[in-house]
Amino acid sequence: MRFVSIILAVFAIFHSLGVDAFDPGVEKCTSIALGTDATKSGSVMISHGNDCPTCDFRTAYVPAMDHPVDSKTPIYIDYDDYPRMINLPEIHEDEDVSVSQAKIYDPEFLEPGHTITTQKEPMGFIEQVEHTFGYVDGAYGIMNEHQLAFGESTCDALLGMRSSPVSFGGSALFGIAALSRIALQRCKTARCAIELMGGLAEEKGFYGANSPAWVNGEMTPDKMGYAEGGEALTIADKTEAWIFNISPDDTGTSAVWVAQRVPDDHVSVVTNTFNIGQIDLENSDYFLASSNVFDVAEREGLYDPKADVLFDFAQIYRAPVGHQLPNTSKTSKRVGSMMRDRRRWVVFNTVAPSLKLDPYNEHTWDDSDKYLPFSVKPDHKLSEREVFRIHRDFYQDTPFDITKDAVGGPFGDPFRGSVFPDESPFNDSEEWNGTFERSVAQLWTSYTTITESREWLPDYVGARIWFGPHSAVTNAFVPIYPGAAKLSNRFPKAFEVGSLLKFNEDSFWWQVCLTANYAGRFFTGTIDMVQEAQAKLEVHLLEMTGEFEQKAIGEGEGEGLKTLERMQQDIADYSMAAWKSFFYDMVSSFHDGIFFKPGKEGSCEIDRKMGYPSWWLNFLGPKAAGLSQYHVADDSHQRAIEVEKGAIKTTTGGSVSVVGVGVVSLLVGLVAGRMLPALNRERNVYEAIPQ
């Protein structure tokens, strides 16, 4: 534990130095939907990378319940920081106002040192149904006992600043998290979920995730209000995959929404912008929409039904300002950002490289005729691990590979903050107007889920979630079964405990966090070890679950649920032990910048050192690199050598501080992002999806 404490202290120092460089409030989640004929197993799959540095990363099980006739269900404001929910005895003792029936939301499970800032009073109520289904809960509802599953991606919305929640003085009762939970409690199919969520949002009002823009009940005019004013869900049941796009309406009291089915042999992806374009509501097999979807657009002057222009939901309701680069408000240029579209492109390019989609000119941030499709047919059917690999993407094998930029340092650290802190003197510069590539994988991902809905299996086994805590690039995906919690209403401790403020050795999230922060600094040297460990554990778990599932099915639901519960605990214990062991093995074999190996007769030998690559030193030059300059001392008669530190000189003759050198390194890195591809470095450190 003392070693782990030292590691955590180092991480804390780096975090304190760099916290202002992160821009976690925007450009969140990537979510993918795969139809039954796009997957090797024949399952409908949904993925969700919850890219949120402050979110409560715990998983909870909300049990199925029966409710009295004519009872109500309370609706609370969406909240995703720790604790995302908590039942206060003095307020929530009555079921009619209970925040959640999940056991881990009771006060006894609240970690010491945390104040209660979550929901205390409901914003309103809706009619309760007689029976609600059990489901797995996270920052949003994830999957229920009948194999209905969700992924999420916050979107920019032109009308995003028209609404705010009831508790902030607005008229909107529902955020997307509350809608997803209600749907999981009441629906078995994607169509039911879409119609229920859409109807509630139209009737009771919808607000987006742009909470920093709510001040004293009013929306402040910042870009955040647009960039996170809308939402999208990927939705799966046992036979169909759908995409759901939703925005506040023009009055702030209702919502506009549209849904499109993903063809069974296709893959679709949402990357923080609406992706449903032209709609055909006469084809109800593939399209659903709110009753006001055309009227709101007409009232706002966004659509003229008399004009010879097809109605395009995404082009009409997305917000161009949400696609601007960070500094454009202070310059004369209005530049479109590819942070959304580049991710969408890389997902499509990964699964269907034969399409040769254009990563530069097919975009969604203006009215261009060139745009990426809603979905694509993959070149081959995808396995679970191939979907894991997509969420581990850093643009490898593309011109945008961020491990090959100078900002990543000599060892290819793929994790990025924002381009400049707010106080940067370059914010007013047109020349320095830009942003880093925003990859699918992020260091500050809270968790990633890949759900499988399998029609040919009974629900208690068919519903399966692959849960990957923290960053997908350095985590391990482990299976979680909603059915495994049906008897005890609990998941293993590894998935239920932990918060961001204190290391918890019982938390799987914290074990992965150690790996990510240690491996990232020397990424090109450690990634092979990480990928080997991922493959070893994930392949074993796939084999292990197959055996247990057949046993649980053969026993019938009664005994099968007990088998699933035991299996879930075995999975948690095995995964925790394996990842903890891997971290210690990695540190043992590689530390202090050196790879060690056993020598003869029990001795320790150096295998190799992580020396600075020549491209890095040549690019920096001796002064910027900090190399000492040797010279002959005065009156030495060529016999004595002195060493002068090669510090960068200021205009006054002094030496620049470490912070100053860091600023120069940042500028060097931004330029290097364009120059380094020409160096033709071959550093392919990723596992590729076989074609």
pLDDT tens digits, one per residue of 341-386: 899 999 999 999 999 999 988 766 555 567 899 999 999 999 999 9
The span from the CA of 314 to the CA of 42, in Å, is: 30
Task: Output DSSP code: residue 271.
Answer: -
Residue 50 has phi, psi (to 5 degrees) of: -85, 85
The span from the CA of 345 to the CA of 273, in Å, is: 13
Q: Which of 144, 145, 104, 97 is nearest to 119 (CA)?
A: 97
Token pair for residue 124? 């309103």
CA angle 244, 206, 340 (to 5 degrees): 50
Helix (H, G, I), strand (E, B) or coil at 629: strand
- Tell me the CA distances in angstroms from 159 to 350, 375, 516, one per residue in order: 33, 25, 38
Cβ 56 vs Cβ 83: under 8 Å: yes
Task: Find the DSSP H helices in 67-206.
Answer: 89-92, 176-186, 190-204
Cβ 183 vs Cβ 197: under 8 Å: yes
The span from the CA of 435 to the CA of 452, in Å, is: 35
Which residues, including other chains, have CB under 8 Å from residue 234's CB and lie 6 or more apart?
31, 32, 33, 46, 47, 48, 150, 151, 152, 153, 241, 242, 243, 244, 268, 270
- Tell me the CA distances in angstroms from 665 to 96, 410, 446, 481, 625, one per residue in order: 57, 12, 29, 47, 10
589: exposed, middle or buried (Cβ count in 10 Å: 0-12, 13-18, 19+): middle
Task: Output DSSP code: residue 216.
Answer: T
- C-alpha distance across the termini of the chain, in Å: 44
CA atoms within 13 A on the CB side of 78: 25
Cβ 124 vs Cβ 204: under 8 Å: yes
The span from the CA of 208 to the CA of 255, in Å, is: 10
Task: Output DSSP code: residue 32.
Answer: E
H or E element: which one contains 545? helix 523-589
Helix (H, G, I), strand (E, B) or coil at 686: coil
- Name beta bridge partners: 630: 643
Q: Where are the beta strands (DSSP E) in 396-473?
A: 445-453, 464-469
- Name beta bridge partners: 401: none
Residue listed under structure tokens 């600023």: 663
Token pair for residue 481? 């079964």
Q: Where are the beta strands (DSSP E) in 454-584?
A: 464-469, 478-480
**Residue type at 519?**
A
**Cα-Cα-Cα-Cα dihedral sign, residues 362, 365, 369, 374:** positive
The span from the CA of 438 to the CA of 418, in Å, is: 10
Segments of the chain scoring below 50 in pLDDT: 1-26, 215-217, 219, 221-224, 322-335, 640-691
Taken as a whole, the chain contains a residue count of: 691
C-alpha 644: how far from its chain's center?
A: 47
Q: Which of 179, 299, 202 is nearest to 248 (CA)?
A: 202
Which string of DSSP letters, residue by residue, matches 85-124? ----HHHH-SGGG-S---GGGSGGGSPTT----S--S-SE
Task: Output DSSP code: residue 656.
Answer: P
Q: What is the pLDDT of residue 256?
A: 99
Strand ranges of the sheet holding 30-34, from the earlier edge strand across to the other edge: 375-376, 267-270, 30-34, 44-51, 445-453, 464-469, 478-480
The span from the CA of 60 to the CA of 489, in Å, is: 9
Q: pTM for the complete prediction?
A: 0.86
- Name beta bridge partners: 39: 382
**Residue type at 97?**
V
Which residues, including other chains, have CB under 8 Å from residue 190's CB and lie 6 or more apart?
148, 235, 236, 237, 240, 241, 242
